[in-house]
Amino acid sequence: MRRFWMLTACVVGCAGNAETPVTPPPVVVAVASVTIAESSVPTLVVGSTTQLTATARDAQNAALPGRPIIWSTASEQIATVSATGLVTAIAPGSTQIRATSGGQLAERLVTIRSQPWSLTGALATGRALHTLTLLANGSVLAVGGQVVGPPFSSIRTCELYDPTTGTWRAVGSLATGRSNHIAVRLPSGKVLVTGGYSSETGTRLASAELYDPVTESWSATGGMTEARDIPSAAILADGRVLIVGGSGSGSNLHALSSAELYDPASGTWSPVMPMAVPRSGHTATTLSNGKVVVVGGATGTYAAPTLHATSEVFDPVTGTWTTSGSVTIARGFHRAVALPNARLFITGGSDFVSTVFPSSDLYDASAGGWTAGAALTAARISHSATVLPNGKVLIAGGGPGPLASTEAFEPATGRWESAGSMRVPRSNHAAALLLNGKVLVAGGQGVGAPTTAELHDPG
């Protein structure tokens, strides 16, 4: 019995071993390199952040997911980095951010610059929905606007900013207070102001006025053929001014398709061929080829608007319009700036009701169409957009909010980078590029915004 029992135990034990599969040890693929993805923010402003992403790779450059990445910085006095690769700018300078995995190292140089925004002299009158126009002598003219808060009165007063002293002073008043108007500097140096809305009359305006920087006075000039609130305007190569669309006489949106030209020589307006569709809340921009691109806007009512994604091009030589493709998202109250080589860049905007967009689009006249650009870091409406001397596009403030954040678009790379934060959050403000390359931003809606002004130094 004892021998039988031992044999049985052996048979059972041996059979069990035969049925259990032997698992070979896992093959560990060595890390051959580490790569850090291109940062969308190559230059940081003190206090801002950017997220870096690193990947461990094998000898065939294939990604090795799940491999731990250890982050470090060469100088915590300049920038810190979290365990997940979030870089925080501490002080001006440059430092290497390092990612290590499996004994392999990758580095990315991060440059930190000082806060570029600083307050300058305050406006005497708080205002929003006004205009800022750079004069030939380097001064900046602030015109009209609206009081921020009840009773939201239209403003007649105007002020002149002196960049050398950083101060404002009064320079006469408009005949009619107005907001949502347009202001264009003519080749003569005078400033044409027209359109908009006036609480004094409770109507949209067709009247126009001229500011003479020599006498620092205002005078009447010919009025438009029809009243326009929130119109868009562009100066042509021959000095004439094209004004298009806007909200006409009456109530609600009442978008217009009409367009007209102002002749500075005669001080009169003449109708031109209308656009294909009525638009309000659109933009009109003169490109380097001399043509004007109009894009976006809406028709219908404020409660139920019909948004336009289409664009149209006005040829001053023939006086005609042609359609030229559509942006990726129909929008209004966006911003548009001209880029070199007959290109156009638009940012932000809204659906007129509740949605604000972070998207951007690029128009290339040579291709005759639009392509989607990189999204803004924040959705914006009623912001400012300014082309800097270095070719970048500075986007500042806007709603909803209002916002203090600013960002700069680099057309060469198609990327955005932080441009710091304004000292005061603001929307429906105005901006002007100064002769020294700095950007003046003034007024707007937001706590402390209506009377304050600040300067952005691109560095």
Q: Where are the beta strands (DSSP E) in 276-319?
A: 283-286, 292-295, 298-300, 305-307, 310-315
For residue 48, name the pLDDT band (cuts at 50, 70, 90).
Answer: confident
Every domain of the chain and the residues it spans = 33-113, 117-456
| The pLDDT value given to residue 3 | 37
Asked if the model's pLDDT at residue 123 lies above 90, the reply is yes
Indicate the pTM of the whole model.
0.85
**Sign for the pseudo-dihedral over CA of 82, 87, 88, 89:** positive
Q: Is a pLDDT exceeding 70 seen at residue 323?
A: yes
Mean pLDDT over the full length of the chain: 94
Q: pLDDT band at residue 10, thresholds of 50, 70 and 90?
A: very low
CA dist., res. 97 & res. 81, Å (int): 7
Q: Which pLDDT belongs to residue 5?
A: 35
Q: For residue 438, what pLDDT is reported?
A: 98
Superfamily of domain 117-456: Kelch-type beta propeller (2.120.10.80)
Helix (H, G, I), strand (E, B), or coil: what is residue 3?
Answer: helix
CA distances from 13 to 1, 18, 21, 207, 356 (A): 18, 9, 15, 104, 73
Helix (H) / strand (E) containing 84: none
CA 187, 193, 195, 196 dihedral sign is: positive
Q: Tell whether omega for the bond before 402 is within 30 degrees of 0, i.e. cis.
A: yes
Ranking 109-118, 160-169, 252-261, 318-327 by mean pLDDT, the lowest is 109-118
Indicate the fold that domain 33-113 takes in CATH: Immunoglobulin-like (2.60.40)
Helix ranges (H only) for 304-387 are: none
Q: Rounded to an integer, what distance in angstroms lies between the CA atom of residue 308 and that of residue 232?
A: 15
What's the farthest any 2 CA atoms get from each other in the chain? 128
Cβ neighbour number for residue 394 with a 10 Å cutoff: 22
Q: Which residues pair with 378 in a beta bridge?
A: none
What residues contact 419, with CB distance under 8 A and at least 6 apart? 45, 116, 394, 395, 396, 406, 407, 408, 456
pLDDT in tens, 232-247: 999 999 999 999 999 9
pLDDT of residue 11: 37
Measured CA to CA, the distance from residue 304 to residue 231 in angstroms comes to: 20
CA distances from 299 to 194, 260, 303, 351 (A): 22, 19, 11, 11
pLDDT for the residue 63: 96
Give the lowest-confidence range in 24-28, 334-338, 407-411: 24-28
HSE value, Cβ hemisphere, 13 Å, CA-based, for 58: 10
pLDDT value at residue 363:
98
Task: Determine what percent of the chain is predicted with pLDDT higher than 70.
Answer: 95
Q: What is the pLDDT at residue 41? A: 58
Predicted confidence at residue 328, as pLDDT, reads 96
pLDDT in tens, 266-281: 999 999 999 999 999 9
Burial tier of 202 (Cβ tally within 10 Å: 0-12, 13-18, 19+): exposed
The reported pLDDT for the residue numbered 21 is: 75
Residues 172-180 have a mean pLDDT of: 97
Q: What's the pLDDT score for residue 38?
A: 73
Q: What's the average model confidence in pLDDT over 340-354?
A: 97
As a whole number, mean pLDDT of residues 193-218 equals 98
Q: How far apart are CA 259 and CA 256, in angstroms?
A: 8
Q: What residues does 322 pair with on adjacent strands? A: 313
Using one digit for the tens of pLDDT, what is the confidence trace for 145-155?
A: 999 999 999 99
